[in-house]
Structure 1
Amino acid sequence: MAEPPVHAERNAFRRRTAWLTALSAGALTATLLVSGCGGAPSRPPAAPGPVATPTPATTANLRLPLNAYLPTPEDQATGEYLVYRVQQHCMRGFGFRYLPHLSSDYIATTVATWREYESRRYGISDRAIAAERGYHLAEAPGGTRAPQIANALPLPEREALSGRTADGRATSTPVRGKLVPRDGCAGQAERTVHADGGEAARRGNDLVARLRHEAFERSRPDPRIAAVNRSWSSCMRGKGFTYRDPAAALEDSRWDLRGARPSREEIAVATADISCKLRVNLLGVNFAVEAEYENAAIRDHAPELEKVRTHNASDTARLPRLMQRYDRVPRPS
């Protein structure tokens, strides 16, 4: 995902990236960590306490403890959709037909994308998906789901959206006879949907992303993870496949994960992968161990996380009213 070039859209992009990273901070998305999420904790982390080990058939419905300090996928997608809708309404006020194909389908398709990422926290975990697509992700849904490329817009439209001139200065002259709001329609949309323009949400998501990444990394060398990986590897050898752990199966150089369709061998390995995960309860063990480390992080950062939870609740409470007002195509001015 590339950063939108419009200055006023950067906060939205960073908030979404931090949220996705926090939601799915496993091997699939570790490279998405935003700057500021790394670094060692300021004090020795608390020791993890025991968590009961579930026996799930998939990780899709598991919720790690730090998820409580993130918006739900539905709320996150609804907030993003509303930001785009408010941008659209604002741009219509200047006479521009911006995001012509935007619809509320954006919410469902975005949630489905995040759910699939979350279900792969410890590698693939859905037997039906593995049988159909192997290790391939679902194709991105079609249609206009994100802002049009701002640099490709005509200059007046770009200025109205970003509030910036071609050389990056704040716009000071009217566009089509109308004053441009601070940071353009993109900035106005952020302030409308998020009470503080999204800064608190970004900081909160950054914090949760860092804590979840640290908990994930601390859980990897845990002896219980090593033991269940060995059991999984032994099971896979019994099926004719040699991999040290699920990450090695996913990263097999024979798979063309950018291609349209998986090979038969990829599907065979992926279905065996899930079968062995379920046989040795790899998903449940990984979840329980990581949850222990997340609970320790919550104890270490309780006051900060409670502020994040309070802010998220405030932002979420605004969504129904905003949907009622903006969930429609704006009429021509």
Structure 2
Amino acid sequence: MRTVPRRLLREVLPLALTGLLALSACQFTGHGDDKADEAHRLNTMKAFPLHAYLPDPSSDEGRTIGKAQWILAKRCMVRLGFAGFAALDPGAVDSTYPVRQGTLADRSTVGSDDSPYGVDDPEPASEHGYHNRAPEDSAQPQEWPADQYTALTGSFRSGDSHLAHGNRIPDGGCLGQATRKIYGAPPETVKAGGLKVTSYYSLALELGYQSQKQARNDPAWKKTEHAWSACMKKKGFRYADPDKAATDYAWYRDDKPSDREKRTAAADAQCKLDTDYIRTAHDLETRLQKAAISKHRTELDQVLAANARAVENARTIIGTAS
């Protein structure tokens, strides 16, 4: 389900069963297209008010910052002794965060998309279960050899050297150093969802987490959660809430979804439509996020101003590199 991205983290739920598909015409289309479309529209991080205070790597500004980061990282890597980086085209590097070679997971892993409320469409859920598939146009994280990865990110495993060709790797690696050059000094670390987050967007992440936590304790959320659970029970699946269904350990045993997983996910999605789960949950979170934005308007406006300065810094870096 939801992760601290973003990307977070968070970082993008989602063979048909013959019997299930045979029933789909009468079982899965009982709701009008409008209701299903609304659920799908609300089931994305972009549908939340706080999303306006989080970075969008796919936007023009996001791509500008990403290119500037790689221009600076390229120079840093060359200084560290990676001579081959002199030929790197910063504009051609994926904006996704680097992945250490040999650890890149299958794109269709469980719980890997941008849907805060999990599966919302019974038909694809009956094919893919909870093994999510990223959109066709989404960027695939790029793998880097271990020595380059540690130099780029400053992330080390046990036994990894903190030196590259005799040169000390900067804090956060070359990309971390580049980010500080563009954004300035990093903010204080905050806790969100049990994780320590150090991000230039930490405030928005923390407020989003707190809003969700508060919404889950609201009687309206608990009521729709109970209704969803009762719906699932009638279909032969016993789960207290959608999170427990989506994170069932059984789904993590294989790279491909089992028949039971697919049946469970299809029922999960249908019960969300039957009980109006997504709209209810989204309305609660939206109300609380708007209240949080109103309370922290000054600080959040500072986040937007800092991002605007970062974009200008990035444009300067790109201009001087041309």
8 Å CA contact 2:126, 2:262 repeated in 1: yes
Cα distance 1:157–1:187, how it changes in 2: closer, same or farther (>3 A)? farther
8 Å CA contact 1:135, 1:266 repeated in 2: yes
> Residue 262 of structure 1 aligns to a residue in which SS?
coil
Distance 1:129 1:68 in 2: 29
- Give, in angstroms, the shift of residue 217 of structure 1: 0.6
Distance 1:21 1:273 in 2: 25
Could you tell me which residue of structure 2 aligns to residue 212 of structure 1? 208
> Residue 254 of structure 1 aligns to a residue in which SS?
helix
- Give, in angstroms, the shift of residue 205 of structure 1: 1.8
Could you tell me which residue of structure 2 aligns to residue 106 of structure 1? 94
Could you tell me which residue of structure 2 aligns to residue 64 of structure 1? 48
Could you tell me which residue of structure 2 aligns to residue 28 of structure 1? none
- Give, in angstroms, the shift of residue 214 of structure 1: 1.1
> Residue 74 of structure 1 aligns to a residue in which SS?
coil
TM-score by length of 2: 0.64
Gaps of 5+ in 1: 1-16, 26-53, 164-182, 328-333
Distance 2:318 2:69 in 1: 11
Could you tell me which residue of structure 1 aligns to residue 143 of structure 2? 144
- Give, in angstroms, the shift of residue 264 of structure 1: 1.0
Distance 1:299 1:118 in 2: 29
Distance 1:117 1:135 in 2: 9
- Structure 2 counterparts to residues 97-246 of structure 1, below 5 A: 97=83, 104=92, 106-107=94-95, 119-125=114-120, 127=122, 130-138=125-133, 141=140, 143-144=142-143, 148-150=149-151, 152=160, 155-157=163-165, 159=167, 161-162=169-170, 185-186=174-175, 188-194=177-183, 196-199=184-187, 202=198, 204-246=200-242
> Residue 237 of structure 2 aligns to a residue in which SS?
coil
Cα distance 1:119–1:144, how it changes in 2: closer, same or farther (>3 A)? closer
8 Å CA contact 2:71, 2:318 repeated in 1: no
Q: Which amino acid aligns with 2:55?
A: P
8 Å CA contact 1:225, 1:285 repeated in 2: yes
The farther-off stretch of 305-314 and 215-224 is: 305-314
- Give, in angstroms, the shift of residue 98 of structure 1: 6.0
8 Å CA contact 2:235, 2:267 repeated in 1: yes
TM-score by length of 1: 0.62
How much identity, in percent, do the aligned residues show? 26
Higher RCO (CA-CA < 8 Å; seq separation 6+) = 1
- Structure 2 counterparts to residues 231-310 of structure 1, below 5 A: 231-255=227-251, 257=252, 259-310=254-305
8 Å CA contact 1:236, 1:242 repeated in 2: yes
> Residue 250 of structure 2 aligns to a residue in which SS?
coil
Q: Deviations over 1:33-77 (max 9, x none)?
A: xxxxxxxxxxxxxxxxxxxxx932251374211112111242596
How many residues are treated as equivalent by the alignment?
A: 259
Structure with the largest fraction of strand? 2
- Give, in angstroms, the shift of residue 301 of structure 1: 1.4
Distance 1:123 1:307 in 2: 32
Could you tell me which residue of structure 2 aligns to residue 55 of structure 1? 38
Cα distance 1:232–1:310, how it changes in 2: closer, same or farther (>3 A)? same
Cα distance 1:279–1:67, how it changes in 2: closer, same or farther (>3 A)? same
